[in-house]
């Protein structure tokens, strides 16, 4: 069983992924075939529970962390591009 996200981790995930993070996670998980054993995607409500530390799922938590890593990389690339273009 996976360890639940802490309140601090939860807040960080929400800040990094931004508004509409539940829908973003749902789409990402669906595209990456991170579905339940019944081959049905998790609901957005269930994803919120995982992010808020109320539920756990190794597969979903791993994919959420992958999303956070991708988003941080995108943000760093955008900042570097702005710095190059605008000084």
Q: Model confidence over 3-59: pLDDT tens digits?
A: 999 999 999 999 999 999 999 999 999 998 887 767 777 899 999 999 999 999 999
Residue 1 has pLDDT above 70, yes or no: no
3-state secondary structure of 48: helix
Residue linked to tokens 């990389």: 73
pLDDT band per the 50, 70, 90 thresholds, residue 2: confident
pLDDT one-digit tens code per residue, 58-83:
999 999 999 999 999 999 999 999 99
Cβ–Cβ < 8 Å for 67, 28: yes
Tell me the C-alpha distance between 55 and 35, whole Å.
Answer: 15
């Amino acid at each position: 069983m996976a360890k639940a996200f802490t309140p601090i981790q939860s807040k960080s995930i929400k800040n990094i992924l931004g508004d509409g993070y539940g829908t973003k996670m749902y789409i990402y998980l669906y595209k990456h075939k991170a579905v339940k054993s019944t081959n049905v995607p998790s609901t957005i409500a269930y994803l919120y529970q995982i992010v808020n530390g109320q539920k756990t799922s190794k597969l979903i938590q791993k994919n959420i962390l992958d999303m956070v890593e991708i988003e941080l990389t995108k943000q760093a690339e955008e900042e570097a591009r702005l710095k190059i273009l605008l000084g």
